[in-house]
Homo-oligomer: A and B are copies of this chain.
Amino acid sequence: MTPLGGLGDVGRNSATFEVNGEILMVDCGVLFPDETHPGVDLILPGLHLVNDRLDDMVALVLTHGHEDHIGAVPYLLRRRPDIPVLGSKLTLAFVREKLKEHRIRNTDLREVEEGSRTRIGGFDLEFIAVNHSIPDALAVHIRTAGGSVLHTGDFKMDQLPLDGRITDLRAFAKVGEEGLDLFMVDSTNAETPGFTTLEKDIQPAMERVFAHAKGKLIVACFASHVHRVQQVMDEAVKAGRKVVYVGRSMVRNMTLAAQLGYLDVPGNTLIALDDIDKYADHEVVIISTGSQGEPLSALSRIANHEHPIIRAGHGDTVLLASSLIPGNENSVYRVINGLTKNGVKVVHKGNALVHVSGHASAGELLYCYNIVRPRNVMPVHGEVRHLVANAELAIATGVPRENTVVVEDGAVVDLREGRVKVVGRLECGYIFVDGSTVDAVGDAELDERRILGEEGFISAIAVVNLHSGSLVEGPIITARGFVGAEGIFDDITAEVATALREALEEGADDTHQLQQVMRRRIGRWVSKRFRARPMIVPVVLAT
- Listed in ascending order, the chain A residues whose CB lies under 8 Å from chain B are 8, 34-36, 38-39, 191, 326-327, 329-330, 333, 336-337, 340-341, 346, 350-351, 383-385, 388, 434-437, 440-442, 444-446, 448-450, 452-457, 459, 461, 463, 472-474, 476, 478, 480-485, 529-532, 535, 537, 539, 541, 543
Docked-complex contact A448 and B530, CB < 8 angstroms: no
- Which residues of the other chain, B, contact A333 by a CB distance below 8 angstroms? 326, 383, 385
- Which residues of the other chain, B, contact A446 by a CB distance below 8 angstroms? 481
- Which residue of B has the minimal Cβ distance to A41? B531
- Which residue of B has the minimal Cβ distance to A527? B435
Docked-complex contact A453 and B461, CB < 8 angstroms: no
The 7 closest A-B pairs by CB, nearest first: A453-B453, A452-B452, A39-B454, A435-B531, A326-B329, A448-B481, A449-B481
Docked-complex contact A449 and B456, CB < 8 angstroms: yes
- Which residues of the other chain, B, contact A456 by a CB distance below 8 angstroms? 39, 445, 448-449, 452
Q: In the complex the two chains form, what is the Cα distance from A38 to B444 in whole Å?
A: 19
A60 to chain B, nearest CB (A): 27
Q: In the complex the two chains form, what is the Cα distance from A289 to B327 in whole Å?
A: 22
A532-B442 contact in complex given A351-B191, A452-B481, A453-B449, C-beta closer than 8 Å: no
- Which residues of the other chain, B, contact A529 by a CB distance below 8 angstroms? 436
- Which residues of the other chain, B, contact A8 by a CB distance below 8 angstroms? 337
27 pairs, A vs B, C-beta closer than 8 Å: A35-B35, A39-B453, A39-B454, A191-B350, A329-B329, A337-B383, A435-B532, A436-B530, A436-B532, A440-B483, A440-B484, A440-B530, A442-B484, A445-B481, A445-B483, A448-B481, A449-B452, A449-B454, A449-B456, A452-B453, A453-B453, A459-B539, A463-B463, A463-B473, A463-B543, A473-B541, A478-B537
A450 to chain B, nearest CB (A): 7
Docked-complex contact B38 and A453, CB < 8 angstroms: yes
Contact of A541 among B330, B457, B476, B537 (CB under 8 A): B476
- Which residues of the other chain, B, contact A459 by a CB distance below 8 angstroms? 459, 537, 539
Q: In the complex the two chains form, what is the Cα distance from A211 to B385 in whole Å?
A: 22
Docked-complex contact A461 and B541, CB < 8 angstroms: yes
Contact of A38 among B336, B454, B480, B484 (CB under 8 A): B454
- Which residues of the other chain, B, contact A384 by a CB distance below 8 angstroms? 337, 340-341
A322 to chain B, nearest CB (A): 16
- Which residues of the other chain, B, contact A350 by a CB distance below 8 angstroms? 191
Q: In the complex the two chains form, what is the Cα distance from A461 to B515 in whole Å?
A: 15
Q: In the complex the two chains form, what is the Cα distance from A478 to B457 in whole Å?
A: 14
A536 to chain B, nearest CB (A): 11
Docked-complex contact A385 and B473, CB < 8 angstroms: no
Docked-complex contact B530 and A435, CB < 8 angstroms: yes
Q: In the complex the two chains form, what is the Cα distance from A32 to B453 in whole Å?
A: 17
A182 to chain B, nearest CB (A): 22
Q: In the complex the two chains form, what is the Cα distance from A453 to B337 in whole Å?
A: 26
A338 to chain B, nearest CB (A): 8
- Which residue of B has the minimal Cβ distance to A326? B329
Q: In the complex the two chains form, what is the Cα distance from A62 to B355 in whole Å?
A: 41
Docked-complex contact A457 and B480, CB < 8 angstroms: yes
A487 to chain B, nearest CB (A): 13
- Which residues of the other chain, B, contact A441 by a CB distance below 8 angstroms? 482-484
- Which residue of B has the minimal Cβ distance to A40? B454
- Which residue of B has the minimal Cβ distance to A530? B435
A3 to chain B, nearest CB (A): 15
- Which residues of the other chain, B, contact A481 by a CB distance below 8 angstroms? 39, 445-446, 448-449, 452
Contact of A480 among B327, B440, B452 (CB under 8 A): B452
